[in-house]
Amino acid sequence: MRVGIHAWGVVTTAGMGVPRLREALANPTFTPHLELPRPDAPPLPVAVCAGFDTKGVLPPLVARRLDRASRLLAVAAKEALERAGALPWPKDQVGVAVGTWNAGTSPLFEILQAVFTLGPDQAPPMHFPNSVANAPASQVGILEGFGGANLTFFEKQAGGLRAIAEAFRLVARGRVAAMLAGSVDEAQWLNAEAFHRLGALAVPGRAGFTLGEGAVALLLAPGGSVAVAGAGAASLPCPPHLYPLRADALLAACRKALREAQLEPEEVELWVSLANGHPQLEQLELELLQALFPAQRPGVLGELATRFGEGAFASALRVAVAAAVLAGELHHCWSVPPHLTSEGFTPLEGPARNALVAAQAGGGSAIAVVLARG
């Protein structure tokens, strides 16, 4: 069964909604708001959705009971559903699949801060339900009345892509009529400080990634002009907080996805760079592309994670942007990362019929998805 992307919605550091994202992607000088305050210490360089506001999108009483991650996803979901129009399926046949790297951190912090500084009996009960990582997906399910499978996937940076891949399979196998699939991450100083202490964040004098926040929601259902044509996953064991030393898992995941899409590597027309500024990931991407595309090179769409920030949501954002480019809805003029330029990769010029999107998680898990137009 052909499973297409029927509509999408986003919240990024460029602002709320697809139009703001479109403006940012068409602006070669776009830079995100990069500052996250933390107590007793200088701010951390994290791409945050500084102007995010639920006013006019969610009723105040609803917004008040949601944590930030749930609000981000709820707003992205509202946009996707509005763009889709009236859904033709019973709501108990519509599911939700979300990937996240850190949903629940803010409520978790509120509870623990109260316990550690005020005492155990001061833990605020209102925060506990949202401290679970599945709160955003569940809250969207409750808000929209979706009674199909409601799944949250935790696979670090690759979580968004995993959610889309599994949603694709659920629809393709007829387990649900449609899935709202995507990802969400929130900017929280505790997460950012953790990555900073682990040496992963980009700071002056040290290469690394820029953590980000945002939400992506795609409506997957039978039909559609741009479809998920294949998905694949593999892994290469390594310590959980590190990238693997070789690109074996990425390569295996891409090959599986291409096989399912019945495409040869040389037929791939668009590669969506997974680079995030971390030198090891750049090395892995280079190794992957040299193995996958030794001669004929696809056009490249780059800099998404370096500008909007890294996270599970970034892997879903790559799918959303690639699908919109294939559909001719988006013009992307950002440059190709230097590590790819030096190997002869150039930006995509003109239309493309298909795209390969991949993600590599710390700890070694890798996923790839093939999108195809027509």
78 contacts 219 by C-beta, under 8 angstroms: no
Applying the rule CB under 8 A, the residues between 267 and 326 that interact with another protein are none
Site mask for another protein (CB under 8 A), range 251-270, x = bound: -x------------------
**Nearest CB to another protein, comparing residues 97 and 270:** 97
Burial, 211: exposed, middle or buried (Cβ in 10 Å; 0-12, 13-18, 19+)? buried
- Cα–Cα distance for residue pair 322/118, rounded to 1 Å: 48
Q: Which of 50, 62, 194, 327 binds another protein (CB under 8 A)?
A: 194
By CB under 8 A, is residue 129 in contact with another protein? yes
> For residues 217 and 180, is the Cβ–Cβ distance under 8 A?
yes
Q: Which of 4, 17, 32, 148 binds another protein (CB under 8 A)?
A: 148
Residues 6+ apart with CB under 8 A from 236: 244, 246, 248, 249, 364, 366
Instruction: Using alpha carbons, select from 225, 228, 218, 226 the residue that is nearest to residue 8.
Output: 218
- Cβ proximity to another protein, 217 vs 325, nearer residue: 217
Using CB under 8 A, which of 10, 46, 75, 133 touches another protein? Answer: 133
Phi, psi of 303 (to 5 degrees): 70, 10
Q: Which one among 12, 54, 134, 210 touches another protein, defined by CB under 8 A? A: 134
Structural tokens at position 53? 């506001």
Q: From residue 66 to residue 105, what is the string marking binding to another protein with x (rule CB under 8 A)?
A: -------------------------xx--xx----x----
Of 206-245, binders to another protein (CB under 8 A) are: 233-241
Applying CB under 8 A, does 198 fall inside the site for another protein? yes
Which whole-number Å values give the CA distances from 284 to 88, 92, 246, 251, 273, in the listed order?
A: 43, 41, 6, 10, 11
Interface with another protein in residues 40-69 (CB under 8 A): 40-41
**In angstroms, what is the minimal distance from the CB of 144 to another protein?**
8
Helix or strand (DSSP H, E) at 301: strand 299-301
Q: Examine residue 139 and tell whether it contacts another protein (CB under 8 A).
A: yes
Does 146 contact another protein by CB under 8 A? yes
Q: Report the C-alpha gap between 228 and 97 in whole angstroms.
A: 15
Q: Whole-number minimum distance, CB 189 to another protein, in Å?
A: 10
112 binding another protein? (CB under 8 A):
yes
Q: Which of residues 7-46 bind another protein (CB under 8 A)?
A: 38-41
Q: Facing residues of 9 across strands?
A: 217
Structure tokens at 362: 């710390």
Stretch that binds another protein, among 48-56, 151-159, 341-349, 352-360 (CB under 8 A): 151-159
Q: Which is nearer to another protein, 301 or 316 (CB)?
A: 316
